[in-house]
Amino acid sequence: MASDTVKTHPWHVPEPSPWPITGTIAGFIMAIGGIWYMHEGPIWLLAVGFALLIFTFYGWWRQVVIESNTVGMHSEQTKVGLRYGFLLFIVSELMFFFAFFWAFFHSSLPLLSKVAVAWPPASIELIPADGVPLLNTLILLTSSVTVTIAHHALIENQRATATKWTFITAILGVIFLFFQAEEYIEATFKLSDGIYPSTFYLATGFHGFHVFVGTCFLLVCGFRLTKGHFTPDHHIGFESAAWYWHFVDVVWIFLYINVYIWGASPLGHISPT
C-alpha cells in the first residue's frame, strides 16, 4: 500500500504474494505424480509435489505469522474475519467426514443398501470397542481438556503453563496416533477385503490424518508460545489450533460410537434375510 494513499478502512490487504501460485504448482504436480504412482509409476514426482506443498505452507504461514506480529496489520475487525475463515474451514471439513459417515450407514443399514446382507460381514474379525479404541477415546478426550487448560493459561498470561499444556496435548496426539497405527497393524482385515474395511479404514484413516495435522498445528503453536508470539488478547493461531483439536475430538466420538460400538453390536448386525 502506497504511503500517500488515503485509507480509513481497517482491513489488511496483503502485498502480491508468490505462495498461491507455488501452492497451485505443488497441487498440480501432486495430482499428476499421484496418478502416475497409482498406475505403476514411481513415487518421486508425487514426493516432489508434496515437498513443494510443504515449502509453500512454510513460506505462506511464515508470512502470516510475521504480519500477525506486526502492530496494526491484524486489526480487531481483521481478526474477526480470520476467525470466521477458520470456523468455515472446519465446517467444510465436517462435511467431508459427512460423506464417509454416509458411506458407512448406507453400507450397514439394509434399509439403504440393496447389496448389504450382513453387517459386520461374517468374514470380518472385529476390533473390540472396549480395547484400544476406548483407550484412544480417553486419550483424545483428555487432550481436549489439556488444550483448554493451555488456552485458559494463555488468556491469564501464564505463558510457561500454556506452553507446557500445549506440548502435553500434542504428545497425547502422538500417543493416539501410535495406538491407531498399532490397531491397523494388528487388524486381521486389509483395505481390499470388501466394504467393511473400506468404510473402516477411510473413515478412521482420514480422522487419523486430521489428528496428525492437528498435532503439527499444536506443535507450531507451542513453538510460537515459547517465542512469545501470543498475547492474552491476540492469539488467533492458537485459538484455531484449539478449535481444530476439538473438531478432531468430536469426529472421533462419532466414529467411536457408530463405527466401533454400534457397528459391532447386536443392534448393528443385520441378519441375512
Partner 1 sequence: MSNITHDHHDHRPSGWKRWAYSTNHKDIGTMYLVLSMFAAIIGGAASMLMRAELHEPGIQFITDPQFYNVLVTAHGFIMVFFVVMPALIGGFGNWFIPLMIGTPDMAFPRMNNVSFWLVAAALILLVIAGFIDGGAGTGWTVYPPLSSADYHPGMAVDFGILALHLAGASSILGAINFITTIINMRAPGMTFHRMPLFIWAMLLTAFLLLLAIPVLAGALTMLLTDRNFGTAFFAPDGGGDPVLWQHLFWFFGHPEVYIMILPAFGIISEIVSTFSKKPIFGYLGMAYAMTSIGVVGFVVWAHHMYTMGFNVETRAYFTLATMVIAVPTGIKIFSWLATMWGGSIKFDTPMLYSMGFIFLFVVGGVTGVTLANAGVDMAFHDTYFVVAHFHYVLSISALFSMYAGFYYWFGKMSGKRYPEWLGRLQFWVTFVGVNLLFFPQHFAGMAGMPRRIIDYPDAYAGWNMISSWGAYISAVGGILFFVVLYKTLTSNVKAEANEWGVGATTLEWTVDSPAPFHTHEVTPNIIPEPAE
Q: In the complex, which residues of this chain contact partner 1 (CB under 8 A)?
A: 1-2, 4-9, 11, 13-21, 23-25, 27-28, 31-32, 34-35, 38-39, 60, 77, 80-81, 84-85, 88-89, 91-100, 102-103, 106-107, 113-116, 121, 191-199, 201-202
**225 contact partners, CB below 8 Å, separation of at least 6:** 154, 159, 162, 163, 166, 238
The nearer residue to partner 1, 13 or 185, going by C-beta atoms, is: 13
At closest approach, how far in Å is the CB of 24 from partner 1? 4
At closest approach, how far in Å is the CB of 267 from partner 1? 19
Kindly report the number of other CB atoms within 10 A of residue 76's CB atom.
Answer: 9
Asked if 249 and 140 touch (Cβ cutoff 8 Å), the reply is yes
The nearer residue to partner 1, 77 or 157, going by C-beta atoms, is: 77
At closest approach, how far in Å is the CB of 189 from partner 1? 12
The nearer residue to partner 1, 58 or 98, going by C-beta atoms, is: 98
Cell numbers describing residue 30: 501432486
At closest approach, how far in Å is the CB of 107 from partner 1? 7
- Single out the residue of 188, 195, 191 nearest to residue 108, CA to CA: 195
Helices (H) and strands (E) in the chain, counts: 7, 0
At closest approach, how far in Å is the CB of 159 from partner 1? 29
- Single out the residue of 152, 174, 171 nearest to residue 239, CA to CA: 152
The nearer residue to partner 1, 94 or 171, going by C-beta atoms, is: 94
